[in-house]
Every structure is written in structure tokens, then in C-alpha cells.
Chains A and B, each alone.
Chain A
């Protein structure tokens, strides 16, 4: 460990990471299992283009959300690392 690591707030960093992870996993669950499976029949009364919305979530939408979630996670983790002065290598 270098000297700057002494100022690292590892505890704060970890609890912020856990909060972020829980929030993102909630969205992950909602856009796939929620919109694509459990609430699919309800959502199918709406449509996106020519596709029923619930069906679209199951075959397309959930995947777009997954990609967005992972990139947001990367960006947010970089910010957390700065904020809690976690040494990036």
C-alpha cells in the first residue's frame, strides 16, 4: 500500500458499492423477470412499434437494459473510487 491508500475510506466505499449494486439488481430484475415474465400480460396491452410491450421486453428490451446497467455501473464505480479515494491502478 502506498501513502495515499492510508486515506482510503474502504468501509464507506464498500457500503456505497453495496447500495449501488442492490439498486442496479433491482432494475435488472424489474426489466427482465418483471416486465418480460411476471407483468408481461399486463404490459402486452401496450405496444412498441408493432410488438406487444411485454413480449418486446422479453425478446429485446431486457437485453438493452442489461447493457445500459453494466455501463452505468462502470461509470458509477469510477466515481465511487474517486470519492472514497480508493487507489485505482
Chain B
């Protein structure tokens, strides 16, 4: 069987599995639909959280990004894992004890204000929609790149699959498909990584190969890599051009943003109690760390391998690769590797012979021989081409395709839950039609999930034309860090925090971060104008402190919240103490824990 057939087989089998799970786990109540009945095993929830969290970007792009950025890529590694420590210690168990369905639920009830709830809904929708556009685009790219199906049809197929398990099963369906998707994606990621680690360092564990020596020598892999890239005029791999303060801020914005992302937080509403929420965050982090500690190894190996096999190789434009390659080897030259030729058709790698010598020069900005760079490579190529670089059989490539789709679909589904529950629960049930019955709400929830799938698909279609997906992800993290994290944190740890302070803090974070990122991404701002030298990616962290400050000052100048609310905050700090509280629970009683 050839590669494409294998890809179809794997994608077909995994999709059938997802649909099967969707039918098996239909939701019967709003409890099932929003929070999977509060009864998900912590280990399984950890897996589902990991799949929810690791998107097409983590799976396909991150290793390549690190390969190019070297030490600078650390911001993603620390930023996208360290947030789970904040979640476990500061948010998850308390929000679970609070016992409602969504993030705006907490904000609206804790701050006894429909206005605060609506602002939180806006933040949640904004964050989720920017994020989901990238996922749908990833699905379209995977289909068009590997299966030869048109981009638009790829998105339609992805939408139908997600529609099935999100609309039928709600959170319950999503949870169990995410567990399956995690298994697919982690297997697809680690198998090629193990082989490429064996090839380069002779160590089967990529995390150890990363700090080991190059196979058959006593030179460490990283020293070799530093040497190789700096000889070509690139920055040393273990260094960065970013300022220390900027690295600090970007890492922090990603960490606090992770902790404030609604689709991650709601996963911790699905377990039985606060203790389970804590341990579940631990398992989620283990499952995420498996991929996140492998990624820097893959990045470094791939960079080294890429430079060593492609640089100064003789390009082959001939149709007959085998014959041309044999001829070049006979003359003592090195032919361009075959995987380069096969990926060239996708446009992910490209070669332009600027000095007409027939050889492929890879050069950095400070190349000592002054030659121009002739090879362009997309970040995504490193993970995608790994199986071929390591000369693994065709089915491994099919596996990687299925893994990439699993990563994109699982994240998209989690985001869809946030969007549909924000509309059906927070806007319809809790703000507009307070008398709505549970059955009606479930129906509305399904309809809004269906609407959200459609909207996401359309966004995916337009995203391909707009091409700013990578840019707007900075919005998602910045906004989550600056607008949602501060008020959730203060809502738990500071009893005195009131409605006025919360609204002021959310609006401060939202407006300042949105304005700053918009100005520098779309409004023509230049790096010289950065506030304190902080890039738009890291500004969420700076404005988070501003929002915290504004919130505290405004709260101190306005009346304290009622005794009832203060008692509520004391209750959620201690597991098993949650009682019914008049104001906060007037619209809806907390979920019975027993």
C-alpha cells in the first residue's frame, strides 16, 4: 500500500471510532451536555484535557518553531505547561467546588451581576473564536496536503465529524472522543521521535538523546548543532535575539493565558470533586509533558538533520530521482534527499538556485562566505517529514496525518463547547429567559453547538484567505491572561472583591490588550514603539497587572459585597463546605456533589 492509502485507512478508522464513541455517549441532560455529568474519571479527564489543550499548532508547528528559534522556543515550552501549575493551585479545585457549568457562570454569580456575566461571555467567545479559526484551518490543510481532497471539502468533513459528537454528546461525547484522540496523537508523535533520536544519538528516548552525544562521537548533540548553525551564519541554537525581559513576559503571558482559557477551565468542571480536579490537573500535565518534552528534542534533531542532509547537496530536477541520485553519488556528490523532493510538491519546502551552482546553500543572516540562502522551509515540515527522514514505513506517515487531525479536532470540539454553553446557558438561560426548563435548555444547547460548528467552519474557510491565524492567537492568550485570569483569581482569594472592581478589571484588561495587539499587528506599529520593549505576544502579562491594580483600587472605593457572597467565597475554599447562597444561586442551584 502506498502512503496516501495508509493515510486514508488511518483517518477513516479513527473517524469511525470517534463517531462510534459519539453514539455510545449521547447526552441525556444539561448536566451531561455541559459537564459530562460531573463523573469523569480524573485520569481520563487528564487525557481529555491534554487533547483539548494540544492543538494542531502544538502537534505540527511547535517542534519546527523551536527548531528555528532554538532557545527562543522555550517560551512556548514553559508557557504552555507552567499554566497548569497555576490552574491546579489557584483555580481548578475552587471552581469545581463552586459547582456551576461555565466560566461566565462563575463570574456572573460570584460578582452578582448580569453585566459582568455578559462581559465574561464576550471575552470567552472572542478567545474561543480566534482559537477555533486556526484549528479549522489545520483540518483543511491536513486534508488537502495529504489526502488530495480540496481544502474546502476537508473543512466540511471535519465539521461533520465534530458536529456528530459535539451536538449529540456534548461534553460527554467530547470527553471520550478526546481520550481516544489523545492516544492517537501521542502515539503518532512519539514513534517517529524515537526513531529519529536513535538515528542521530543512538538513544531511544528523545529526552535523553537531547542531552546526549551525537552517535559514534563524544561531541554532544547540542554542541554540534551550535557549531553547525553558527558556521552557516545563524544564531547559536542555545541563544536568542529576544531580550530577557521580553522572553520573561511572553512566557508569563502564555502561562497566565493558559490558566485563563475557558475551554481548559471547563474541563475541570467534569470531575467529581475538588480533590479530583487537583489530581486531574496533574495527570493532564503529565500527558502534556510527554509531548512537550519530546518536542524540543524533535526540533533540535530535525534542525541538525535538515542542515546536514540538505546543505550543499546537489539538486535534482530530473523526473527520475533514482537514476539521477545514483549518477551524483558516482561523481562523489551528495544528492538532495528524496523526502525533500516529495515535500517540495506541497510547497512546504522550496529551493531557488540563486548562484546557479546546482548546489543547495542554507545560509543565515551572517553567513561568513556571504552567500544567499536558497532553501525555504515551513515550520510544519519537521514533524511531517520526520517519518520519511527517519526512513520509516508508509503507515507511520498515515499515523502522523491521523494524529494531526486528532489534535485539531479535539481542540476544536473543546472550543465549541465553550461557545455553545456561553450562548445557551449564560446568555439564554441565565440572562434572557430565566424561566427556561432543563429540557428546553438542552435543546437550545444542541442548536447553539450546531450553529457554532457552522460558524467555525465558515471562519476556517475565510481564515485561508485572510492568513492572519497565527497573528490572532496572540489575542487569545493575551485576552485570557489580562481579562479572565485576574477576576477569577481575585474572586477566590479576595473576599472583598466586588462587582464594580470585577467589571473595571475585565474591561481594563480587554480594552488595553486588544488595543495594543491590534495596533502592532494591524495598525502599523513598529517594534521601536513597544511599551517597555514588550512584544504584543507578551503584553497580556503587563496588562494583567494593570487589570489587577485597577480592579483592587475600584473595589476598595466601592461598597463591599454582601455577607452572603463573602460566605460563598469562604465556602468554596474548603472542599465539601459549599452551601446554597441566596444571591449567587437565585437563578440556579449549585450542582449537588453527593
Contact = CB atoms under 8 A, between A and B. Distances in A.
A binds B: yes
Interface of A: 1, 5, 8, 10, 13-14, 17, 21, 24-25, 28, 32-33, 36-38, 44, 48-52, 55-56, 58-60, 62-64, 66-67, 69-71, 73-74, 77-78, 81, 86-89
Contact of B89 (A13, A21, A58): A21
Given A48-B211, A50-B223, A58 B282 contact: no
Nearest to B77: A59
B282 A67 contact: yes
Contacts of B285: 66-67, 70
B573 A77 contact: no
A72 B292 CA distance: 21
A55 B71 contact: yes
A32 B251 contact: yes
19 contacts: A1-B579, A8-B574, A17-B573, A36-B74, A37-B248, A44-B238, A49-B208, A49-B211, A50-B213, A59-B73, A60-B210, A63-B289, A63-B292, A66-B82, A67-B286, A81-B575, A88-B575, A89-B272, A89-B594
Nearest to A21: B89
Interface stretch (B273-281, B310-318, B406-414, B435-443): B273-281
B298 to A, nearest CB: 12
Interface in B263-277: 272-273, 275
B285 to A, nearest CB: 5
A74 B220 contact: no
B282 A28 contact: no
Give the interface centre of A32, A59, A77 by most chain B CB atoms within 10 Å. A59
A74 B575 contact: no
B82 A62 contact: yes
Contacts of A51: 210-211, 220, 222, 238
Contacts of A37: 74, 244, 247-248, 251
Contacts of A64: 289, 293
Given A28-B82, A38-B248, A74 B570 contact: no
A5 B593 CA distance: 15
Contact of B577 (A5, A33, A38, A62): A5
Interface of B: 66, 71, 73-74, 77-78, 81-82, 84-86, 88-90, 93, 207-208, 210-213, 220-223, 238, 244, 247-248, 251-252, 272-273, 275, 278-279, 281-282, 285-286, 289, 292-293, 296, 570, 573-577, 579, 593-594
A21 B90 contact: yes
Contact of B293 (A17, A33, A44, A63): A63
B327 to A, nearest CB: 38
Contacts of A1: 577, 579
A49 to B, nearest CB: 3
Nearest to A14: B573
Given A28-B85, A51-B210, A86-B574, 16 more contacts: A5-B577, A14-B570, A32-B82, A38-B244, A55-B238, A59-B210, A59-B296, A64-B293, A70-B85, A73-B89, A77-B275, A77-B278, A81-B275, A87-B577, A89-B272, A89-B594
B210 A66 contact: no
Contacts of A48: 211
A52 to B, nearest CB: 6
A71 B573 CA distance: 19
Give the interface centre of A14, A32, A38, A44 by most chain B CB atoms within 10 Å. A32
B220 A5 contact: no
Nearest to B247: A37
A37 B570 CA distance: 37
Contacts of A71: 282
Nearest to B579: A1
A88 to B, nearest CB: 6
Nearest to B284: A70
Contacts of B66: 59
A2 to B, nearest CB: 9
B576 A88 contact: yes
Given A69-B85, A70-B84, A50 B282 contact: no
A37 to B, nearest CB: 5
A89 B593 CA distance: 8
Contacts of B213: 50
Give the interface centre of B208, B211, B223, B278 by most chain A CB atoms within 10 Å. B211
B227 to A, nearest CB: 12
Contact of A50 (B220, B279, B575): B220
Nearest to A77: B278
B208 to A, nearest CB: 8
A51 B223 CA distance: 8
Nearest to A27: B85
B82 A50 contact: no
B269 to A, nearest CB: 15
